[in-house]
């Protein structure tokens, strides 16, 4: 797995690709590439999934320029780019401060 600093840099620079699922979710949830870049620039890892189905991944929490929280699950297996597995705005009823599951 890449370091957090490298993941942040790649996402902020637009050096990422979407899984089919993530692209569909971004469109459905009206999450722009600019929001992803902004949120990722200072994102923190809130969960790690070393045994994920296809490759190890992590869940990031970041905030857009308007303060919108975003969860971005990323993987970096077999690619120079960071791959976005899924992304969404976390539900405050399911998360404490968007960082810990209730």
Q: Tell me: the pLDDT tens digits for 17-43?
A: 999 999 999 999 999 999 999 999 999
% residues pLDDT > 90 (the chain): 86
Judge contact between 59 and 47, C-beta under 8 A.
yes
DSSP-derived secondary structure letter, 33: H
Other beta carbons within 10 Å of 36: 24
Measured CA angle at 48 (ends 42, 51), to 5 deg: 145
**pTM, to two decimals:** 0.93
Rg (CA), the chain: 12
Q: Is 41 helix (H, G, I), strand (E, B) or coil?
A: helix
Query: Over the stretch 60-75, which tens digit does the pLDDT of each residue have?
Result: 999 999 999 999 999 9
The candidate with the shortest Cα–Cα distance to 40, out of 9, 68, 66, is 9
């Amino acid at each position: 797995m890449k370091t957090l600093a490298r993941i942040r840099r790649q996402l902020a620079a637009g050096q990422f690709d979407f899984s089919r699922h993530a692209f569909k979710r971004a469109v459905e949830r009206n999450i722009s590439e600019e929001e992803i870049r902004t949120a990722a620039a200072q994102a923190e890892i809130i969960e790690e999934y070393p045994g994920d189905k296809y490759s190890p991944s992590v869940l990031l929490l970041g905030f857009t320029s308007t303060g919108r929280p975003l969860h971005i699950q990323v993987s970096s297996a077999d690619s120079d780019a960071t791959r976005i597995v899924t992304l969404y705005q976390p539900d405050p009823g399911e998360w404490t401060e968007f960082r810990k599951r209730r």
